[in-house]
Amino acid sequence: MYDNGITDSLLYARKGKRAVTWRQLFLRAATDVPLPKNLKPENLDEINTRTLKSIFQKLLSACAHNDKDVTGKRLRIIDEFLNITFKRD
């Protein structure tokens, strides 16, 4: 059932349709992005996974707006902030 859900979400995204659930949106945004090399599998326990989910939901909620351009602007502002904050020399 889990595999079918992933396959359905990927096929849904390939058809050019927009994501309608948190899960579909996350899969669409993260499917082609590898995990950081320094992230150990044991770091992704239930608590950390729950925290990651919360961060994802809060970021999207903070960016959400009825106007596509406003949503995009908010997303880019947060992305730029994170790029500056976590820039590694």
Same-domain status, 10 and 48:
no
Q: Are 26 and 47 in contact, with CB atoms under 8 Å apart?
A: no
The answer to whether 59 and 74 are in contact (CB under 8 A) is no
| Residue 3 banded pLDDT, cuts 50, 70, 90 | very low
One domain for residues 74 and 50: yes
Asked if residue 58 and residue 25 are part of one domain, the reply reads no
Per-residue pLDDT for 46 more than 90?
A: yes
What is the value of pTM for the model shown? 0.63
CA 88 centroid distance within chain = 21
- Look at residues 34, 55, 53 and name the one whose alpha carbon lies nearest to residue 45: 53
Whether 47 and 21 share a structural domain: no
**Cα 30 from Cα 24, distance rounded (Å):** 10
Domain count, the chain: 2
Q: Do both 53 and 86 map to the same domain? A: yes
- Quick one: 20 and 61 in the same domain? no
Least confident of 19-23, 26-30, 35-39: 19-23
Q: 49 and 83 share a domain?
A: yes
Residue-range definition of the domain harbouring residue 47:
42-89
